[in-house]
Amino acid sequence: MPKIYLFGDDVNSKISLCYDVNEDEWQIKKLSDSSASKFYQCSAAIALTNNEILITGGGSPPKKDARLYLTAQNEITAKSPMNESRNAHAITQCRGNVYVLGGFSGKQRLNSVERYEVKQDKWT
């Protein structure tokens, strides 16, 4: 069951949109009001599994946050933070690691890359 997720909006938000490709329909998902977690604008996200999406950075000012969104539970869990605050960055995955590239620190454009070791929950 392929799905596409969109997170946040132009303000910090608890709303995500989920598009079910097979059913050709959108669903609005809202995090619990008691949840301290939010989706930030200009974050980058990548699916790790069918039920786990890693969301990095974003916000204004930019955040170091790394969060794991559990799609079936509609919950976010905190992961180890990145080494640099960044938003408007790229994200990709290769050989079990996640890489975040570039972006904006709040003061300058970044030309750095960070590697996230998923199994160790560690950024280098």
> In sequence order, what are the residues at sequence separation of 6 or more whose Cβ sits closer than 8 angstroms to the Cβ of residue 66?
54, 55, 56, 57, 78, 79, 80, 81, 82, 116, 123
Q: Which of 105, 106, 100, 102 is nearest to 123 (CA)?
A: 100
Cα(13)–Cα(31) distance, integer angstroms: 9
Tens-digit pLDDT profile for residues 54-93: 999 998 899 999 999 999 999 999 999 999 999 999 999 9
Each domain of the chain, given as residue ranges in start order, spans: 3-123
Q: What is the pTM of this model?
A: 0.91
Q: Provide, rounded to the nearest whole percent, the portion of the chain with pLDDT above 90.
A: 75
CATH 2.120.10.80 correct for 3-123: yes
